[in-house]
Structure 1
Amino acid sequence: MSRTSRPGALVLGQVSGAADLVDAIIERITDGALADGDRLPSTRTLAEQTGLSRGTVVRAFDELSAAGFVASEHGSGTRVSRGAAQAARAGARTRRSDGAAAEASSSSPLPEPRTGRSPRDLRPGIPDAALVEERAWRSAVRAAAAQGLAGVNPWEEPSPTVRAALAGHLRRHRGIAGADPLLFDSSRSAIAALCAAFVARGEGAGRPGPDVIPFHMEDPGYRGALLMAREQGLDVHFHPVDPDGLDAGRLGETPGIVFTTPAHQYPLGHRMSVERRVALVEWARRTGSLVIEDDYDGEFRYGVAPLPALATLPGAEDCVAYVGTSSKSVAPDLRVAWCLPPAGLRREVERWLAVHRRGPSSLPADALGGFMASGAMDRHLARAARVYSDRRARLVAALARECPTVDVTGVEAGLHLCVMLPGYDDDDVVRALERAGWRTRSLSSQSARHPVSGLVLSYSRLVARDADAFAAALREVLGATSSG
């Protein structure tokens, strides 16, 4: 029996709410009082021990679960997730709601996706916007519209209110303290600005032009980053995907740019190990290189501990640029992204932003800032994580039942997974599925030099009744499609 399975065996000290309880449990994980696999006391026991209501304890457990510090299984209670201790000691933390927002109820029914892109369109990139609480969002939009038109250039004078709200969001959810983000209309624009700034800094120091500056990325990888690198004339280097993440030992000693998605590698979904993260930052510092960390869907993790963002590691402030977006957490309609460049590149990035005018429109940016500042964003992320986790689990179970021989990757985080199809022409599979009424994306289409056969599937809008239907359709397609 676990050493923490007895009621009252966990010493937490004084706690006064869900946020305090979350912090206390993470501290016990950090100092070793709780280890990976340890069972937590029941919500009833903790409520009696702390004097909190049972509902407050449940909300704390939900928060810890959504961030990946704990996992609940029917019949075995709630246990500390594998890897949670390592992540906590590395400085990873979960969201910490403030005030009444932390105690707000999230028990309203879970809606199914709105109309728009068909729920049978499983191509990645689109979250379920129906999960956003309409009343809170409309309130944020009304408040933003009530401010009127400021008459400023948003790419030169972004709202300090939005930046402050976003800084708080990054502190709570990604452990990034003291952030002063620059706002963009997309993550692609932020990547282009960072590449141009690195080139400009090199030219100012007398280094060669962009055509000899290496741009390292994993393959398969994010095609948008590849397009931005080629637009800047960089020398692109492709590296086969490693389940532990990009290996700095493969990068050489020439100063360059590394693009990576460490929280949930796009598209295969691997999470970069803590050791690889530390090694990558040390390499960038030693060689004078830039690491672009694209945290496109880092808010969503399922049953795994959060790993520290590269930007939070020692020494990262001089060589890591953090890029995030609202496209996966809320909706791509907003066109609001953010970037935390290293101090040495900030002026060049600001100059690029002003020249190219690629900041977001003020109204959606102000609305998003109000949504964050009110606590509605925290509630939305916790609620959405539970819904996505359920949809993911249903799809994984259906695939295991209908297609037991295929391997599935990337299930620990994000909004998509990959079905590996070695021996099949995945483009043929995609076309056959489309004839059956399903839209999917081939994994090989995301490769430039190291093609891998498979499907990239988003489950963000896949309602329960369709998980089984899709898995059955895939089984029939694979049965009718020749494999090599």
Structure 2
Amino acid sequence: MSRGKAASALDLPRPDGLDASKQQGAYAALRGAILNRQLPAGGRLPSTRSLAERWQVSRGTLEAAFERLHSEGYVQRVAGSGTRVCAVIPEQFMAAPTVAQAPRRAVVPDQPDAGVQSHVPFVARRPDASLFDLKTWARCISRGLLSVGPGVLEAAHPAGLPQLRAQIADYLRSYRGLQCEADEVIVTTGIRHALDLIARTLLKSGDTACVEDPGYPPARRLFSLAGAHIHAVPVTAEGLDTDQLPDTARLAYVTPAHQAPLGMTLSVSRRLALLDWAARAEAWVVEDDYDSEYNYNAAPLAALKSLDSSDRVIYCGSFNKNLFPGLRVGFMVVPKALRPALLRTLQLTGHSVGAGDQSGLVEFLGSGAFVRHLRASRQAYQARRDALLECLGGQFRVSGQQAGLHFVLWLPAGVEEPDFCTRAAAVGLTLQPLGTFCRDARLPPAVIIGYTALTLAQIRFHGRALAKLLMAA
């Protein structure tokens, strides 16, 4: 055996975690042996050849671990002398603690809102990022930045890039029936950001904010944080019950295209009554148009804002609901009377969208790629919805399936939401009870079924499991 390559007399045990991650496991075991003085300062490590035989891993794996230890200063590798532990080890790594250390607190992972997650049946009520053309997006980002030049990286545009606001206004005129101009658009990081700005700007302690019941929980929480009293307004088959709106309210938040979570469309008569209430009460209406692009049976109604002759509606939209969740870009179409105050709040809070995403969206919208993506994703989501409904076989009542990213599944008589969700979890299904969306409303038991960020294979497999669970209920 060549000089300096003899195995160490110390028989290092094979690490327990070596099978899961060989290189990391080898590195961690050797580093631990050094820091615990199992391998003393100046001592020689076993050769990679002998240690590979002992630990039953490849020599290349150990070479990588040795090189990492060398780069971090734990060992020296000298030709002809092998690999030796460095003489100097930071003292804080070797000193024994003077008192017993408290056990580490378990880390509680952050919970996404209402448990919404991609590829998890059935809380996948979000866009499927795999349908998004990343190559096209990369080209749009590059072209967008190059077209606007370095000035966009220096200039401040609190309301958003003028080019993007113009493209958004053009899209809304063509597809949502809004007669708006670029100067009415404010770019946000999403609908929640818009609601936060609205709450901070329009509400003060003691004001009344009306919300749908059942409805979108973050809207209730954001309005409450501003000090507002929350007035829950019941939802009927025609949408928000406008007869229940108090004239003393400061604003009303609605989801007219596809009510969140029940899924009905606010009727035309209710829309007109809502606008009449806003004008009479000098209140504001916040229209959350979160998934209006996805209507599977017919063309959607034009936005509520399109009927707004008194300029009392704040229209909110978001690109992360139809492109990909990580794209934090949304927008508001703001009544002229509110624009200065909302912009002041936006500048004060400092939330703004990066120039790269904005300039990329300018190209994505202007090239027609956005509309093409909507068309393709709408077809994919409709196919997924149809496959899931086929699994359920028409035996169970659903509602809201005509549009959007989810529908409501009403449970059989006598079945309670918590019990059903617990039994679903046991077979790998994550379900959202309808009750979590309610404030005062008392509705029959139901669960929310999100399907758009699932593959067809997932839908068919887990859809059959869901149907079997329902049959056994």
Q: Same fold (TM over 0.5)?
A: yes
2:145 and 2:153 map into 1 onto residues whose CA distance is 13
1:156 counterpart residue number: 158
1:118 and 1:372 map into 2 onto residues whose CA distance is 25
Query: CA, structure 1 residues 394+179, in 2 after alignment: closer, same or farther (shift >3 Å)?
Result: farther
Query: Which AA in structure 1 matches 2:410?
Result: M
2:416 and 2:171 map into 1 onto residues whose CA distance is 42
2:440 counterpart residue number: 449
Query: Is contact 1:170–1:179 with CA below 8 Å preserved after alignment?
Result: no
* Alignment counterpart, residue 411 of structure 1, candidates 401, 412, 426: 401
Query: CA, structure 1 residues 152+282, in 2 after alignment: closer, same or farther (shift >3 Å)?
Result: farther
Is 1:460–2:452 an aligned residue pair?
A: yes
Q: How does 1:19-168 map to 2 (within 5 A)?
A: 119-146=119-146, 147-148=149-150, 150-152=152-154, 156=158, 158-168=160-170
Is 1:274–2:268 an aligned residue pair?
A: yes
2:222 counterpart residue number: 228
Query: CA, structure 1 residues 345+466, in 2 after alignment: closer, same or farther (shift >3 Å)?
Result: same
* TM-score under structure 1 length normalisation: 0.69
Query: Is contact 1:155–1:357 with CA below 8 Å preserved after alignment?
Result: no
Query: CA, structure 1 residues 255+475, in 2 after alignment: closer, same or farther (shift >3 Å)?
Result: closer
Q: Deviations over 1:357-379 (max 9, x none)?
A: 12222211221221011110011
Question: Shift of the alpha carbon at 1:305?
Answer: 3.4
Percent identical pairs in the alignment equals 30
Select between 260-269 and 432-441 the one with higher mean Cα deviation: 432-441
Select between 470-479 and 219-228 the one with higher mean Cα deviation: 470-479
Q: How does 1:370-409 map to 2 (within 5 A)?
A: 370-401=363-394, 404=395, 406-409=396-399
Query: Is contact 1:155–1:354 with CA below 8 Å preserved after alignment?
Result: no
Q: How does 1:472-483 map to 2 (within 5 A)?
A: 472-481=464-473
Q: Deviations over 1:286-306 (max 9, x none)?
A: 110000000001111011232
* Alignment counterpart, residue 425 of structure 1, candidates 416, 429, 452: 416
2:123 and 2:260 map into 1 onto residues whose CA distance is 13
How many residues in Structure 1 have an aligned counterpart in Structure 2?
A: 352
Query: Which AA in structure 2 matches 1:135?
Result: K
Query: CA, structure 1 residues 228+466, in 2 after alignment: closer, same or farther (shift >3 Å)?
Result: same
1:139 and 1:377 map into 2 onto residues whose CA distance is 14
1:157 and 1:219 map into 2 onto residues whose CA distance is 32
2:462 counterpart residue number: 470
1:190 counterpart residue number: 194
- In structure 1, stretches of 5+ residues that fail to align are 1-115, 200-209
SS in 1 for 2:424: helix
Question: Shift of the alpha carbon at 1:414?
Answer: 0.8
Query: CA, structure 1 residues 383+154, in 2 after alignment: closer, same or farther (shift >3 Å)?
Result: farther
Query: CA, structure 1 residues 157+258, in 2 after alignment: closer, same or farther (shift >3 Å)?
Result: closer
Question: Shift of the alpha carbon at 1:336?
Answer: 0.4
Is 1:292–2:286 an aligned residue pair?
A: yes
Question: Shift of the alpha carbon at 1:398?
Answer: 1.6
Query: CA, structure 1 residues 475+303, in 2 after alignment: closer, same or farther (shift >3 Å)?
Result: closer
Query: CA, structure 1 residues 460+424, in 2 after alignment: closer, same or farther (shift >3 Å)?
Result: same
Query: Which AA in structure 1 matches 2:440?
Result: R
Query: CA, structure 1 residues 222+155, in 2 after alignment: closer, same or farther (shift >3 Å)?
Result: farther
1:108 counterpart residue number: none
Larger Rg: 2
- In structure 2, stretches of 5+ residues that fail to align are 1-115
Query: Is contact 1:430–1:441 with CA below 8 Å preserved after alignment?
Result: yes
Q: Deviations over 1:162-192 (max 9, x none)?
A: 1111111211221112333101112111112
1:456 and 1:157 map into 2 onto residues whose CA distance is 35
Query: Is contact 1:195–1:257 with CA below 8 Å preserved after alignment?
Result: no
Question: Shift of the alpha carbon at 1:148?
Answer: 4.2
Query: CA, structure 1 residues 314+355, in 2 after alignment: closer, same or farther (shift >3 Å)?
Result: closer
Question: Shift of the alpha carbon at 1:424?
Answer: 2.4
Query: Is contact 1:155–1:360 with CA below 8 Å preserved after alignment?
Result: no
Select between 242-251 and 291-300 the one with higher mean Cα deviation: 242-251
2:302 counterpart residue number: 308
Q: Deviations over 1:97-134 (max 9, x none)?
A: xxxxxxxxxxxxxxxxxxx9663432144211222233
Question: Shift of the alpha carbon at 1:409?
Answer: 0.9
1:342 counterpart residue number: 335
Question: Shift of the alpha carbon at 1:241?
Answer: 1.9
Q: Deviations over 1:32-90 (max 9, x none)?
A: xxxxxxxxxxxxxxxxxxxxxxxxxxxxxxxxxxxxxxxxxxxxxxxxxxxxxxxxxxx
Question: Shift of the alpha carbon at 1:236?
Answer: 0.2
2:332 and 2:194 map into 1 onto residues whose CA distance is 6
SS in 1 for 2:276: helix
Question: Shift of the alpha carbon at 1:195?
Answer: 2.5
* Alignment counterpart, residue 369 of structure 1, candidates 362, 373, 393: 362
Query: CA, structure 1 residues 468+451, in 2 after alignment: closer, same or farther (shift >3 Å)?
Result: farther
Query: Which AA in structure 2 matches 1:369?
Result: V
* TM-score under structure 2 length normalisation: 0.70
Query: Is contact 1:285–1:315 with CA below 8 Å preserved after alignment?
Result: no
2:205 counterpart residue number: 211
* Alignment counterpart, residue 263 of structure 1, candidates 240, 257, 262: 257
- Root mean square deviation, CA, Å: 2.1
